[in-house]
A = this chain, B = another copy of it.
Amino acid sequence: MNKKQDFKIETAGSLMKDEYVSVTKDVTIEEAVVILRENVKDKHNIYYMYIVDDFKELVGVLTIRELLAADGEAKIADVMVENIVTIPVDEDQEEVASVFRDTDLVSMPVTNEDKQILGVIHVEDILDVMQLEATEDFHKMASMGTTPADFSEMGLMNASIGLLYRKRIVWLVVLVFMNIFSGAGIAYFEDIIASNVALVFFLPLLIDSGGNAGSQSATLVIRAMTIGDVKIKDWFKMFTKEISVSALMGFTMAAAVSVMGIIRGGLDIAVVVALTMTIIVIIGSLIGMSLPFVFDKLKLDPATASGPLITSIADIVGVLIYFSIASWYLSL
């Protein structure tokens, strides 16, 4: 990937190359072929011939295939395709990748505000962009910072201990402090726990299940948003569907856990655990599903709704639900 110092990183400008051939629109096909043959030698990949007017404004395009197949005597202006997909020079590289995926083109011209061609972006370089962007999302979704400037170029094998520490520690400490709330929740229910220690057996299982279901929902939504399959307006439709899916999952998991509940804690504990499981899975799923929408609305990256973040939120909610149900049911 070539980087140009004069364009912002991660924009079309930083991805483009000057490997293109352009001709003015008043030449013939035969003349254009001659110009092409004179100019291709020092260029790596040429797939299109761009046609410009006297102000260097991009007015048409021909694939090399179309150029070669056309009648040599014809004026290029008469055979050129005028409907051109162009990329503004300051477009974000993730958006550029998305345009390439949607259009199936192998090369696209980058233009300035005056529609003048500045360079071209080749699809090969988009493969690198897609890989980089996917890696950033994977890291974000495991609560790690994205430090593309140093990490992505050296890779995991060569990353220093200090760099890895800095990349990982910030969210870990934030999550420690978030967990103060689940600790406070447990402290609030100290009495019921002291008189029913068997409740603690099921604590990791229940809060984990909420977090697991929530992480699944968040991952589905984040990925669908990245691909462009889900938009912010789809929240309500997703929400109603998630209620059904999570209720089915909650019932299944409640059935699984109630067997364990009877064996380890007796019938009363089993009822509390099964009821809690159902509610935790539904609420965890709805939180996980909604959080990427919230982040998107706040102009933050939806991928910030990481598994560990959702696990911590599900912990707090789970503790409150579990011991509230236990306090209520066991005092009946």
* Interface residues of A, Cβ cutoff 8 Å to B: 33, 36-37, 40-41, 43, 45-47, 63-65, 68-69, 97, 100-101, 104-106, 122-124, 126-128, 130-131, 134-135, 137-139, 141-144, 155-157, 161, 164-165, 168-169, 171-173, 175-177, 179-180, 182-184, 186-187, 190, 193-194, 197-198, 200-205, 207-209, 211-213, 215-216, 218-224, 227, 229-230, 234, 237-238, 241, 244-245, 248-249, 252-253, 256-257, 260, 264, 281, 307-308, 311-312, 315, 319
Contact = CB atoms under 8 A, between A and B. Distances in A.
A216 B155 contact: no
A204 B221 contact: no
A224 B12 CA distance: 26
Nearest to A63: B45
A69 B64 CA distance: 13
A224 B175 contact: no
B224 A176 contact: no
A108 to B, nearest CB: 12
Contact of A221 (B156, B187, B307): B156
A190 B197 contact: yes
A169 B172 CA distance: 28
28 contacts: A40-B65, A46-B64, A97-B127, A101-B127, A101-B128, A101-B131, A106-B123, A123-B127, A127-B127, A130-B130, A138-B219, A143-B215, A144-B220, A156-B223, A156-B230, A157-B234, A161-B248, A165-B249, A169-B252, A172-B216, A173-B253, A175-B208, A176-B257, A187-B264, A194-B194, A200-B200, A212-B311, A311-B311
B256 A176 contact: yes
Contacts of A184: 201
B180 A260 contact: yes
A244 B159 CA distance: 13
Nearest to A245: B164
A203 B101 CA distance: 46
Given A241-B164, A253-B172, A142 B204 contact: no
Nearest to A199: B200
Grouping DSSP codes into helix (H, G, I), strand (E, B) and loop, the A interface class, with mixed when no group exceeds half, is helix
Given A127-B127, A215-B308, 7 more contacts: A43-B65, A142-B216, A169-B249, A172-B209, A176-B256, A179-B205, A208-B315
B183 A229 contact: no
A168 B319 CA distance: 23
Contact of A219 (B69, B139, B171, B190): B139
A233 to B, nearest CB: 11
Among A177, A203, A204, A260, max chain B CB count under 10 A is at: A204
